[in-house]
Structure 1
Amino acid sequence: MGKRQTAPEGAGSTRYRFESIGCVGEWLSLSTLSVSLWATVIMASILDVLTTTVGLRRGLSEGNVLAGALVETLGVGGFVGLKLAAVAVLVTTWYLVDEQQRYAALAGFGGVTVVVVVCNVATIATS
Structure 2
Amino acid sequence: GHHYTNKGIDENKQFSINIPDVSLVEKTDYCGLVSGGKIDKSKVFNVFYGELSKAPLIEECPVCLSLSLYETVKLPFNTLYIGEPKEVFTEDKYMTDGMLDIKKVNPFTLTMPDNHYWSVGENVGKAWNIGKKLKK
Which has the larger helix fraction? 1
Flag the structure with more relative contact order, 1 or 2, with Cα contacts below 8 A and sequence separation at least 6. Answer: 1
Give the TM interval when normalised to the shorter protein: under 0.3
Q: TM-score, normalised by structure 2?
A: 0.25
Which structure: larger Rg?
Answer: 1
Which has the larger strand fraction? 2
